[in-house]
Amino acid sequence: MLSFIEARTQILAAVAPLGIEQVALPSALLRVCADDITAPADLPPLDNSAMDGFAVRTADCTTGASLRITGYLPAGGELGVMVEPGNAVRIMTGAPIPPGADAVIPWEECLETDDAITPQATVKSGQHIRWRGEDVASGSCVVATGTVIRPTQISMLASCGKALLPVFRRPRVAILSTGDELVELGQPSVPGQIINSNAIALAAAVADCGAEPVMLGIARDNREDHREKLATGLLCDALITSAGVSAGDRDLVREVLTELGVEQQFWKILIKPGHPTAFGLHGSKPVFSLPGNPVSSLITFEMLVKPALRKIMGYPRPISPTISAILRDDVKKKPGRVHFLRVRLMAAVDGTVFASTAGDQNTGILTTMLYADGLGILPADDSFFAAGSCIDVHVLNPDFAMTAG
Ligand code: AMP
Ligand code: MG
């Protein structure tokens, strides 16, 4: 049976980006750039003023000199005429430096009379000028392939006039629940039925990592329904099923997937929760068969499916980094499997992060998941983790609490 790391490594090795599409820049947020983007022109495009003040010739600025104000240059205004010796031009931030001038004096550093100024401080050649190309030289790469597009990249790309951006395609991810006991949210139910919460939760998780969920509803516990709905799911870029993946006589998912040509890569991982998880490939399409238990399906999605979807979307580091945290409680487990311990996190002012258990760790307790800011990754071979020891935590909620102590 595979370890957690082996299972995740195997999944990541099996998936790859799907292709490239062009999107309008504002829609590129959190997508991954699929080409090296070069600047078509210098940035700034012209030498311009960094301050509101006066464009002058440094050589004129001797102590007590009076410079005649001969013009006005607002940002976005005309290029301006020559600043002749002895003159100054009133200039606004961002306006092009007029020919002849080699410095800008902020207005606060001038004594201004009706039509002249006297500089009140020494003036250095080049002061308060933003030079053409000092930020970006024409032809240089501003955003490289594999960069996640965040507001900063959008700012730079927009400044360079990039209206359309090539990004890696988002996968369409089919989500199929299985089970005779399920009823869709909002539909009338009879005692014994349970709401198909997994489909909605998994769709939210898929959307949260930037992919596109496709809802396939519920396959009832018979081969025909499984066959029909799983076949539909295999038309998408990836397929996630929930439940029916254990060894019960109604657990048909793996069997029918095999009939449909899915090659099972593995079944069962040395993890808790999520032990019966299976992974297969239909050609190059990944098929994730997650356990039905709502806690297990969310945790296996987070730890195994999310990195795969991120890799498909072009993320250069599909696995999010873990943080180190100091346990506040003693924790015992059986050796043999990695446990994902639902923990609350709290950061002290010195940056130390503390982790305390979020509640009953039974996989049937969804409430504990609600309170969890992260999943402590407890190594398979260990069985006791003392309060005060350090554990790795996969963060679920980056906005966890801070204390004053
Ligand atoms: P199974 O893997 O089919 O044995 O299901 C394990 C547990 O998960 C059972 O208690 C199911 O009722 C529950 N379960 C299965 N599918 C879903 C679902 N779509 N939403 C919520 N709970 C589910
Ligand atoms: Mg079932």
Per-residue model confidence as pLDDT tens digits over 329-339:
999 999 999 99
Band of residue 249 on the pLDDT scale cut at 50, 70, 90: confident
Strand partners, 176: 241
Q: 174, 229 in Cβ contact below 8 A?
A: no
Band of residue 400 on the pLDDT scale cut at 50, 70, 90: very high
Task: Give 183 Cα–ligand 2 centroid separation in angstroms.
Answer: 13
Q: 370, 298 in Cβ contact below 8 A?
A: no
* Ion ligand 2 residues within 5 Å by Cβ: 179, 243-244
Task: Give 211 Cα–ligand 1 centroid separation in angstroms.
Answer: 24
Distance CA 195, CA 146 (A): 40
- Would you call 13 exposed, middle or buried from its count of C-beta atoms within 10 A (0-12, 13-18, 19+)? exposed
CA-nearest residue for atom 10, ligand 1, is 293
Strand partners, 174: 214, 239
Residue of 182, 185, 222, 369 to test ligand 1 pocket, by largest number of atoms within 8 Å of CB: 182
Residue 141 Cα to chain centre, angstroms: 22
Q: What is the DSSP letter of 107?
A: G
The string of pLDDT tens digits covering residues 369-395 is 999 999 999 999 999 999 999 999 999
**3-state secondary structure at position 303:** helix
Question: Can you tell me which atom of ligand 1 is nearest the CA of 177?
Answer: 19
What lines the ligand 1 site, CB under 6 Å? 177, 179, 181-182, 194, 196-199, 242-244, 246, 291-294
What pLDDT, on a 0 to 100 scale, did the predictor assign at position 295? Answer: 98
The string of pLDDT tens digits covering residues 120-158 is 999 999 999 999 999 999 999 999 999 999 999 999 999
The string of pLDDT tens digits covering residues 341-374 is 999 999 999 999 999 999 999 999 999 999 999 9
Span 295-313, mean pLDDT?
98
Strand partners, 167: 21, 33
E strands, 250-320, in order: 263-267, 271-272, 278-282, 285-290
Question: H or E element: which one contains 231?
Answer: helix 223-233
Our CA angle for 118, 79, 51, nearest 5°, is 45
What pLDDT, on a 0 to 100 scale, did the predictor assign at position 250? Answer: 85
Q: For residue 373, what are its two tokens?
A: 């800011």
Cis status, amide bond into 316, omega within 30 of 0: no
Side chain identity, residue 315: Y
Which residue intervals of 91-196 are DSSP H helices? 151-159
Distance CA 246, CA 258 (A): 15
CA end-to-end span of the chain: 44
Q: 171, 313 in Cβ contact below 8 A?
A: yes
Distance CA 114, CA 229 (A): 83
How many C-beta atoms lie closer than 10 Å to residue 381's C-beta?
A: 9
CA-nearest residue for atom 23, ligand 1, is 292
What pLDDT, on a 0 to 100 scale, did the predictor assign at position 155? Answer: 98
Span 184-207, mean pLDDT?
97
Question: Can you tell me which atom of ligand 1 is nearest the CA of 296?
Answer: 8
The region, left, alpha or beta by phi > 0 then psi within -120 to 50, assigned to residue 182 is beta
Task: Give 191 Cα–ligand 2 centroid separation in angstroms.
Answer: 16
Task: Give 252 Cα–ligand 2 centroid separation in angstroms.
Answer: 9
Q: 207, 241 in Cβ contact below 8 A?
A: no
Name the residue with higher pLDDT: 251 or 235: 235
Threshold 0.85, pTM exceeds: yes
Q: 181, 197 in Cβ contact below 8 A?
A: no
Name the residue with higher pLDDT: 319 or 246: 319
Residue of 200, 229, 293, 301 to test ligand 1 pocket, by largest number of atoms within 8 Å of CB: 293
Band of residue 404 on the pLDDT scale cut at 50, 70, 90: low
Provide the percentage of residues in the chain whose pLDDT is more than 70: 100
Judge whether residue 2 has pLDDT over 70.
yes
- Mark 58-91 as b/e (b = at least 16 C-beta within 10 Å): bebbeeebebebbbebeeeeeebeebeeebbbbb
What pLDDT, on a 0 to 100 scale, did the predictor assign at position 81? Answer: 82
The string of pLDDT tens digits covering residues 72-85 is 999 988 877 899 99
